[in-house]
Chains A and B, each alone.
Chain A
Amino acid sequence: MCAFLIGEISMENAGIYIHIPFCLSKCSYCDFTSVPLNDTVGRYVSSLLKELQIKAHILRDYNIDTIFIGGGTPSAIESEHIGNIIKTVYDCFAVAKNAEITIEVNPGTVDKYKAESYNYLGINRISMGIQSFDDHLLGCLGRAHTGENAINTVKILKDSGFNNMNGDFIFGQPGQTLESFLNDLKTASELGLSHISMYGLIIEDGTLMKRWLDEGFVKLPDEDLEREMYHQGIRLLSMEKYHQYEISNLSREGMECRHNIGYWRLKPYIGAGLSAHSNIGSKRFWNTSSFAEYFKKIEGCEMPVEDEENLDSETRASEYIILGLRMNEGIDYVEFENRFGFDAKKRFGAVIDKHRRGGLLTKSNTHLRLTKKGMDLSNIVEIDFLP
């Protein structure tokens, strides 16, 4: 007992990601691994539970301080399944008392019963794919809900006691105006969301949206308007007491997503489920994206890993910078040196100078940090920090 306590105090924190690949319908811009809700859900969840057991040893010496159930649409499946998953995580891992436990939900898929179940299960953060409140835009995105559905779902969750709630929004959509996007953000603030993610629409190959664009059915707003939406969005939200802490993420004071910060600070995490990624020690590895393969491996008590990469410390250091630059805080030079054993300011002096002159990096002496313009052009900066 005593040893356990000592363990808990000195143990490093880690995150767990659980992927639920089922959705009510496929969105036109989505290239994620997701399938329509079907009767394989039961088999999939059983496999997930087994995978968590198989992977338990990997994080034996870690303190789990964040759990993220993402998708897909985790709220599309029965809350009993979610209950089993959370129970198994608690059984297999050392979960911290104040762990952040997030579930992704979509508007219209959570009723009072589900909301209360989530609360009961210890889930304390909701991330909702609202995308927009404009029904016309939602139609084009292929979303299976209306703006009103979203407002109602937020209310149901609030009534069940959730106050740590994120809304995902997309800007730069075909047909979207600056006004319509800013209205979405205003509504989000009025609903009392504590966190807002706003993503510039990415057109992925193989999506319906890509085809529509290629065939000329829809047209994207131009780059200038897209950036206008981004910057005005951030300005509007700042007046509503949201502060930006990452390229696409804003929150009220103290309501940042700890799980995602873990990714950007290169903390260890494991993923369970279809095509879920894990990152621990020098390794990144990820699961197969094929259901058949996944079931086969798990049922044979094998890790369902598709591939892995072993990263040397140079690559790790560069990842740390590339990811850290996404955050408004940037990278603390002292922390960096403690972690990687060399002075980033010295090593990358020329690059830092160049991007300071180009106005993409700030002049801070303590932190490596993007400017506002740098946030628009972060790839240009990041490239120069590759090993």
Chain B
Amino acid sequence: MNSKKEKIRNFSIIAHIDHGKSTLADRLIEMTGMLTSREMQSQVLDKMDLERERGITIKLKAVRLVHKASDGQEYILNLIDTPGHVDFNYEVSRSLAACEGAVLVVDATQGVEAQTLANVYLAIEQDLEIVPVINKIDLPSARPEEAIREIEDIIGIEGHDAPQISAKDGLNIDQVLDAIVKKVPSPSGDENAPLKALIFDSYYDSYKGVTCYIRVFDGVVKPGMMIRMMNTGKSFEVTEVGINTSKHIPMESLQAGEVGYLTASIKNVKEARVGDTITDDSRPASQPLPGYKKVIPMVYCGIYPAEGEDFNTVRDALEKLQVNDAALVFEPETSVALGFGFRCGFLGLLHMEIIQERLEREFDLNIITTAPSVIYRVTKKNGDFLEIQNPSNLPPAAEIEYMEEPIVSASIMTPTEYVGAIMELCQNKRGSYMNMEYLEEKRVVLHYELPLNEVIYDFFDALKSKTRGYASFGYELKGYKKSELVKMDILINSELVDAFSLIVHEEKAYERGRNIAERLVDVIPRHQFAVPIQAAIGSKIIARETIRALRKDVLAKCYGGDISRKRKLLEKQKEGKKRMRQIGSVEVPQEAFLTVLKYDERK
């Protein structure tokens, strides 16, 4: 038994977006000979197309590799994939908790990035052995020596023996595998102790119900056993356990130190939450594994069926996504402008965009999304306390004693040349400067406290644009702070469109109001009458623009050869109109609802 554990290495890969994590994972899988080259789909670990396109891994998964090391022995390497975005920090921490080591991929052309650093610190906190790897050495702009120096200076670990590889070309991948075997400790744990297994991922499919990806720390789990989720308290009978290669391979049992999957007729991922501890129902462990957190949404927005789309279809789709995504919450709401829809909560903006895209792509739905909002705390003059995430629910200003908004601590890593631009941006976003750390001569981390509602507005886009993509950004919720907030409404043709209402800081209201009005003028097509667009706080108009009346929409020539083309043109226009929202007598295209939250280069 012991010798079996000694031959196991559980590890994950930490890398910045685009630094080649998925490519390296592919190569490792290929090199261990588990799959033939023909079976290799590009980026095996990324399950969803969407992720592949965005080049980021959203949901994690484990793969078991068999590697014959240079000592001639066969080792089992369990590669546990981690999501690569700040929205999924908690999930990253849980998958790291399932490992004894982490391969740190550093791009030889870019060096160490802020986001990588955050995950490295997470890994170090969990006592993981860090195995640095320098990637992309095939590129002409590669500077491996600098990357090594950064690893040593910034992270404070040995870097000179790091394998220098090209994941793309498959160069020196065997060195990575050997380094894992050599450096990452084998798992400890007691097979005879009561069962303790960590769920680091779970997903739903309609055949098996929920499949949990687990790391067994103590004890043994096998089919037929009654298990209990220690945090949610639910019990289930195990139907299958096994390991994950290119497909699921059922096993008799999973033992302490092993990584694999488990099914137990679980109907919803909510009942098998990431971070929960599985134990034996009849002989439970005394304590669950540490670190379980119930994920709470930070960002909310309304999702509405577009013209011609059915409310129930949208609900069905959200329900289906929710079975697989414990972080997604939603409840029905009504908008005067958009009709029946849902208020949905997300981990962050990226999570929100992913859900929107999945609704559109996987479910082929036509939806309208309202501007994202955070949760505001309202204390009323009569002493009542409210949490508001839909601007429409804000009580009248006269009833409000004070309001509070969520604040995040943000760290921005950047080359020094952009410090000025970033400081200006943060200032502009009502940020409070905390401090600045020099990582090396030309690279700093800026620490700011920022209101979350500014972050979700257009902070990412603005940062990217002002630093030509060189800065990276991470944040976590710090707490709430009193703030002078107001509700700003947008009126189209004198009609209040609740879907456009926003809660903004008083000082920002004029600028935002003008900005939104200007953009709406650009995206709302001209009508046969003039359409005024106004921004208002209460009954006070703070900005006004007008969409001029359309004077001409006619085809001058229409003879024998023009008729088909003309009809097709009209059909196309009609198709476009179908995707518009009728607000009073004004047709508003769906992108209008998005423009409210887009970064404006003109600023």
Contacts and interface: CB of A to CB of B under 8 A. Distances in A.
Interface of A: 17, 199-202, 223-224, 226-227, 247-248, 260, 263-264, 269, 271, 275-277, 279, 284, 286, 309, 315, 318-319, 322-323, 326, 358, 360, 373, 375-380, 382-383, 386
Nearest to B548: A223
A248 B557 contact: yes
B573 interface: yes
B550 interface: yes
B217 to A, nearest CB: 65
Given A202-B556, A248-B556, A380-B553, A277 B570 contact: no
B560 A17 contact: yes
A202 B556 CA distance: 8
Contact of A223 (B552, B560, B570, B571): B552
Contacts of B528: 358, 360, 373, 377, 380
B551 A376 contact: yes
13 contacts: A199-B557, A201-B556, A202-B556, A224-B551, A227-B551, A247-B556, A277-B563, A277-B564, A323-B563, A376-B553, A376-B554, A378-B555, A379-B573
A383 B577 contact: yes
A264 B559 CA distance: 8
Interface in B541-593: 550-561, 563-564, 566-567, 570-571, 573-574, 577
8 closest A-B pairs by CB: A199-B556, A277-B561, A379-B553, A200-B556, A223-B551, A378-B554, A377-B553, A383-B574
Contacts of A378: 553-555
Contact of A260 (B552, B554, B559): B559
B566 A322 contact: yes
A248 to B, nearest CB: 5
A276 B561 contact: yes
Contacts of B564: 277, 284, 286, 309
Chain B interface secondary structure, helix, strand, loop or mixed? loop
B560 A263 contact: yes
A383 B576 CA distance: 11
Contacts of A263: 558-560, 563
Nearest to A285: B564
Contacts of B550: 377, 380
A309 B563 CA distance: 12
B559 to A, nearest CB: 5
Given A382-B570, A383-B570, A383-B577, A319 B553 contact: no
Contact of A284 (B555, B558, B563, B574): B563
A386 B571 contact: yes
A377 B573 contact: no
Given A226-B551, A269-B560, 19 more contacts: A17-B560, A200-B556, A202-B555, A247-B554, A247-B556, A260-B559, A263-B558, A263-B559, A263-B560, A275-B561, A279-B560, A284-B563, A358-B528, A375-B554, A376-B551, A377-B553, A378-B555, A380-B528, A386-B574
A376 to B, nearest CB: 5
Contact of A379 (B551, B557, B570): B570
Contacts, number: 88
Contacts of B560: 17, 263, 269, 271, 276-277, 279
A379 B573 CA distance: 9
Contacts of A277: 560-561, 563-564
A286 B570 CA distance: 20
B154 to A, nearest CB: 50
A309 B567 CA distance: 12
Contacts of A375: 554
Nearest to B529: A358
Given A226-B552, A358-B528, A376-B553, A319 B567 contact: yes
Contacts of B555: 202, 378-379
Contacts of A260: 559
A320 to B, nearest CB: 11
A260 B564 CA distance: 16
Contact of A202 (B551, B557, B559, B574): B557
A386 B570 contact: yes
Contacts of A199: 556-557
Nearest to A378: B554
A265 B173 CA distance: 73
A322 B570 contact: yes
B563 A319 contact: yes
A134 B316 CA distance: 66
Interface in B180-236: none
A286 B561 contact: yes
B369 to A, nearest CB: 27
B558 A323 contact: yes
Central interface residue in A264, A277, A309, A326, by most chain B CB within 10 Å: A277
A275 B564 CA distance: 13
Nearest to B585: A358
A277 B561 CA distance: 5
B558 A326 contact: yes
A195 to B, nearest CB: 14
B552 A376 contact: yes
Contacts of A271: 560-561
A319 B557 CA distance: 15
Given A199-B557, A322-B570, A383-B573, A227 B552 contact: yes
Contacts of A223: 551-552
A247 to B, nearest CB: 6
Contacts of B561: 271, 275-277, 286
Nearest to A308: B564
B564 to A, nearest CB: 6
B290 to A, nearest CB: 63
Contacts of A383: 570, 573-574, 577
Nearest to A199: B556
A41 to B, nearest CB: 21
Nearest to B567: A319
Contacts of A326: 558
A223 B549 CA distance: 11
Contacts of B554: 200, 247, 375-379
A199 B558 CA distance: 11
A370 to B, nearest CB: 9
A319 B563 CA distance: 8
Nearest to A170: B556
Nearest to A271: B560
Contacts of A279: 560, 563
Nearest to B568: A309
A31 B573 CA distance: 22
Central interface residue in B551, B557, B560, B566, by most chain A CB within 10 Å: B560
A277 B564 CA distance: 9
A379 B574 CA distance: 10
Nearest to B559: A263
Contacts of B567: 315, 318-319, 322, 386
A202 B553 CA distance: 12
Nearest to B564: A284
Contacts of A276: 560-561
A88 B557 CA distance: 29
B529 to A, nearest CB: 8
A318 B117 CA distance: 64
A17 B553 CA distance: 28
A200 B552 contact: yes
A269 B560 CA distance: 8
B569 to A, nearest CB: 8
A226 B552 CA distance: 9
Contacts of B563: 263, 277, 279, 284, 319, 323
A386 to B, nearest CB: 5
Contacts of B553: 376-380
A382 B573 CA distance: 11
A269 B563 CA distance: 13
A331 to B, nearest CB: 15
Contacts of B574: 383, 386
Contacts of A17: 560
B436 to A, nearest CB: 46
A376 B560 CA distance: 21
Central interface residue in B550, B553, B554, B573, by most chain A CB within 10 Å: B554
